[in-house]
Amino acid sequence: MKLTLKMKMRSLTRNKEWMLEQSMEEFKSCVNDWLNAIAQLREKPNRGNLHRFAYKRIRSEHPQLHSNVVQDAMNLAIEIYRSWLKKGGSFPEFHSDVIYFKGVDVKIENNGLVVPLMGERVYLPLYVPKKFKKYLQHKHGRVAIKRIGKDWYAFVSINVPEKEPIKPIGTIGVDLGYYNLLVASDEKGREVMRVQGDVLIKHKEHLERLTARRQQRLMKRFGTYAKTNHKDRKFVDDLNHKIAKELVLKAKQLNRAIVLEKLKGLKGQKRSKRLRKILHRWSYADLVAKIVYKARLHGVPVIFVSPRGTSKTCSNCGYYVKGFKNERVFRCPKCGFQLDRDLNAARNIAKRAFLPAVNGEASSPQRR
């Protein structure tokens, strides 16, 4: 599987920073030259016909760029053009502060990158976190260097071999919600993990109040306002990483597969205004993506099932309670079974993937 490692660049000498800035400006110009060539081509562009049409000319106009960088600029221009065809609008121009390199042109050594800049190979030192060092031992692919604000970052694609999947003896169902961000249970109803939503809700409400105050102050002074989105993204990203890691390690320890809900249509369901606002506050899809890729790294199988009816179905007898509302405790009118609402849903999710395998039936859940 492929992982993209984001690493901040250490302080550069003036000469190296100048070379990086000049190379980036050349790359921008090269991409825009390819876009102009696409407009002149008058046919649907692909790597073959566009290369034959304009490569020699564009390569001669940008001699300071490595030949593979020029080709990467061509590939990027084709992607931008195809995206423009779908979205429409004015003909695209490329302005991003980024430059791409193929893996064969980049060498990773001494916690840094050796890349071709302005006709020379230049060493760029990086801050490499300890958790990334084990990944840098594997084969790397495409490398992107971006300027974000005043800082430089390297995005390195790494091909990490997947571990042999474990043979699970059961499943862990995962219910995502608001009062509890995550509740995990096995098919027998034993709680494996619970993450309450109080911390996230208080943090989000604090950021919303902070943003409102900043807007009010700055609009009076400058007619503009400051956002706190970056703080929100960092907090949610860090929280989702921690939740995903703990869940995957517990599943591996218990030798069980993870069963997740298909999130398609989650925000489109009819819900209260307060609950819709809360669902918008937290990135469920980001958490699911992190669980999936961490599970692949540890060889833990992941199964996707439909969440339909999991909150209103008794996990003990299977009776569907149509009139069940938003009580925090699920009570079955048929068998008298009582259980925490989220734990009952998690148990149903676990059983939804576990029962077909036990009975020898065709398994309906999607596997990844």
Inform me whether the pLDDT recorded for 267 exceeds 50. Answer: no
Buried b (16+ CB within 10 A) or exposed e, 248-287: bebbbebebbbbbbeeeeeeeeeeeeeeeebbebbbbebb
pTM as predicted:
0.72
Give tens-digit pLDDT for 277-331: 555 556 778 889 999 989 998 999 999 998 888 888 898 898 888 877 777 888 8
Percent with pLDDT over 90 in the chain: 53
Dist. CA 82–CA 45, nearest whole Å = 9
pLDDT at residue 364, as a whole number: 38
235 falls in which pLDDT band (50, 70, 90)?
confident
Residue owning tokens 């790359």: 27
pLDDT at residue 56, as a whole number: 95
User: Within its chain, how far is the Cα of 144 from the centroid?
Assistant: 17
Fold of 170-367: Nucleotidyltransferase; domain 5 (3.30.420)
pLDDT at residue 187, as a whole number: 87
In sequence order, the 6+-apart residues with CB closer than 8 A to the CB of 236 are: 200, 282, 283, 286
CB 294 within 8 A of CB 244: yes
180 falls in which pLDDT band (50, 70, 90)?
confident
Dist. CA 337–CA 95, nearest whole Å = 61
**How large is the average pLDDT for residues 152-174?**
90
DSSP 323: T
Average pLDDT, the chain: 84
Residues forming CATH 3.30.420 domain(s) in the chain: 170-367
- Contacts by 161-168, CB closer than 8 A, 24 or more apart: 162/1, 162/296, 162/297, 162/299, 163/297, 163/298, 163/299, 164/299, 165/299, 165/300, 165/301, 166/252, 166/255, 166/299, 166/300, 166/301, 167/255, 168/255, 168/256, 168/257, 168/301
Count the Cβ atoms, other than its own, within 10 Å of residue 33. 20
